[in-house]
């Protein structure tokens, strides 16, 4: 078949805005098909283009976010922020990139150079892999994986490996300390993160992310979207997921691994130039992926927030929700000071994990009660009473007011 015939036989919806982000992929596939390429090559090339789209979108989003973050933080401190490069500082990411590229690349004498080189490269890979399975729109799922959620968490765990690689290979104390902190923090917070996602899996009955989004379609009472967040167990799990995702993304107030006032820059201390930029990129891509997963699990993914908005392409809703979540991250970063390491651990193990575990029976009860008033009546006390006990009684009345440091005091 010729290219023209292929295009004529293709889905007429190809040219709709809904399909816009997948247009390059489909066009490449059609082009290769009309050239008579074998099926595996067509699929492979299409996947490459799909991956390229995702990487391109999120790298430009990273550049934009680095500017927006600086601007927002500046506004929160009553400053203007970067406004020199280009119109309102719009070229600041470009200037940053040029600066990072032209900086000297230093490898410490005691570093293990291969690991030192591999760590910043490997830290970018897991977030990009994780971004590949998220459904961005009704038609825009870069890679359809049946066990998408499992894949996401499995790949996301790899970040810890490269963080520790960076800390170990630098051959210096601060990176080592930072990596230790990062490992303990990420391992502690991955637990509530995954457990809070279990409720969603139970209610949906699938690990496929498109299926989870499809399950959240529709509206209660005609206007409240049927997202998981608007159920008692979903609200609880969503908040836990939100807090844990801040810690997973190494964001303030849980940015202990790179606490610059304490351990210089943590595992990134011995990195300069573009390797440092890669760490930053990895961190921001990780932020996008974890926020994107949060949107998918609890905020209905690409579902429109109000009925009658179906005309707007679904991926716009996804990115709007992602932007809201990320702006809330910025807001939190502008407000809260960094927590102490013992507060961090205490919060994860004594508050988040018990609460996350409780969302599992709550989700089960909700599922078998079929939602509705009965579900609310059964699950709200189940979640609220332990929460009050944990926050008010345990973490407030019984928390130590002063902290003793075993080694520093003796």
Partner 1 sequence: MDPSSTIQRLPAPPQPRRWSLPGWGLIQGLGVTALNIVQSYYRKERMTTVQYPEERAPISPNFRNFPFLCYDGSDPVAGLRCTACSICEKECPPQCIYIVLDRDENGKSLKRPRIFDIDLSVCMNCGICSEVCPFDSIYMDGEYELSTDDRFGGLLFGLDRLSKSADYHMQLRPLQATEIATRRKADEDKKLAAQAAKLAKAKADKEKKDQEMAESQPEGESA
For partner 1, which residue of 68, 100, 143, 332 counts as binding (CB under 8 A)? 332
Report whether 292 contacts 152 (CB < 8 A): no
87 makes contact with partner 1 (CB under 8 A) = no
For partner 1, which residue of 334, 357, 360, 364 counts as binding (CB under 8 A)? 334
Nearer of residues 307 and 381 to partner 1, judged by Cβ: 381
C-alpha 357: how far from chain center: 21
335 makes contact with partner 1 (CB under 8 A) = yes
Residues 33-72 that bind partner 1 (CB under 8 A): 72
- Name the residue with tokens 């790179």: 258
Nearer of residues 73 and 214 to partner 1, judged by Cβ: 73
Question: In DSSP terms, which residues pair with 220 in a beta bridge?
Answer: 224
For partner 1, which residue of 15, 48, 56, 79 counts as binding (CB under 8 A)? 79
77 makes contact with partner 1 (CB under 8 A) = yes
Task: Write the interaction track for partner 1 spanning residues 337-376; mark x where CB under 8 A is met and - where it is not.
Answer: ----------------------------------------
Q: Which residues of 294-329 are buried (b: 16+ CB within 10 A; e: fewer)?
A: bbbbbbbbbbbeeeeeeeebbbbbbbebbbebbeeb
> Using N-to-C axis directions, what is the helix angle for 158-169 and 148-156, rounded to 10°?
10
| Cα dihedral: 197, 127, 140, 189 (round 10) | 10
The CB-of-348 to partner 1 minimum distance in angstroms stands at 17
**Binders of partner 1: how many residues, by CB under 8 A?**
20
336 makes contact with partner 1 (CB under 8 A) = yes
The residue range among 227-235, 300-308, 328-336, 373-381 that interacts with partner 1, by the rule CB under 8 A, is: 328-336
- Chain contacts with partner 1 (rule: CB under 8 A): 72, 75-80, 331-332, 334-336, 391-392, 396, 401-402, 404, 409-410
């Amino acid at each position: 078949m010729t290219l023209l015939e292929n295009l004529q036989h293709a889905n007429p919806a190809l040219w709709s805005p809904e399909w816009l982000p997948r247009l390059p992929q489909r066009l490449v596939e059609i082009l290769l098909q009309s050239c008579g390429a074998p099926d595996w090559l067509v699929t492979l090339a299409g996947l490459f283009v799909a991956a390229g789209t995702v990487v391109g979108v999120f790298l430009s989003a990273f550049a934009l976010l680095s500017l927006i973050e600086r601007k927002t933080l500046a506004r929160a401190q009553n400053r203007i922020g970067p406004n020199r490069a280009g119109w309102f500082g719009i070229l600041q990411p470009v200037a940053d990139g040029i600066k990072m590229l032209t900086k000297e690349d230093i490898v410490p004498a005691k570093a293990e150079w291969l690991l030192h080189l591999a760590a910043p490269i490997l830290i970018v890979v897991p977030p990009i892999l994780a971004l590949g399975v998220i459904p961005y729109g009704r038609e825009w799922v870069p890679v359809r994986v049946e066990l998408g959620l499992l894949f996401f968490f499995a790949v996301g765990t790899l970040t810890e490996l490269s963080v520790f690689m960076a800390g170990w290979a630098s051959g210096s104390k601060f990176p080592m300390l930072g990596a230790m902190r990062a490992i303990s923090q990420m391992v502690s917070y991955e637990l509530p993160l995954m457990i809070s996602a279990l409720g969603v899996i139970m209610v949906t009955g699938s690990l496929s992310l498109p299926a989870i989004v499809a399950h959240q379609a529709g509206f209660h009472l005609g206007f409240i979207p049927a997202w998981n967040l608007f159920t008692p167990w979903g609200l609880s799990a969503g908040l836990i997921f939100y807090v844990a995702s801040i810690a997973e993304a190494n964001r303030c107030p849980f940015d202990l691994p790179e606490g610059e006032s304490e351990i210089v820059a943590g595992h990134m201390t011995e990195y300069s130039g573009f390797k440092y930029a890669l760490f930053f990129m990895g961190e921001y891509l990780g932020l996008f992926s974890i926020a994107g997963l949060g949107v998918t699990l609890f905020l209905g993914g690409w579902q429109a927030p109000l009925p009658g908005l179906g005309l707007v392409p679904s991926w716009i809703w996804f990115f709007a929700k992602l932007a809201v979540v990320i702006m809330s991250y910025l807001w939190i970063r502008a407000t809260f000071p960094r927590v102490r390491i013992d507060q961090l651990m205490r919060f994860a193990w004594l508050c988040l994990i018990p609460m996350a575990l409780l969302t599992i029976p709550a989700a089960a009860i909700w599922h078998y009660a079929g939602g509705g008033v009965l579900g609310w009546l059964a699950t709200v006390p189940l979640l609220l009473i332990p929460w009050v006990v944990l926050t008010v009684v345990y973490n407030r009345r019984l928390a130590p007011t002063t902290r003793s440091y075993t080694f520093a005091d003796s």
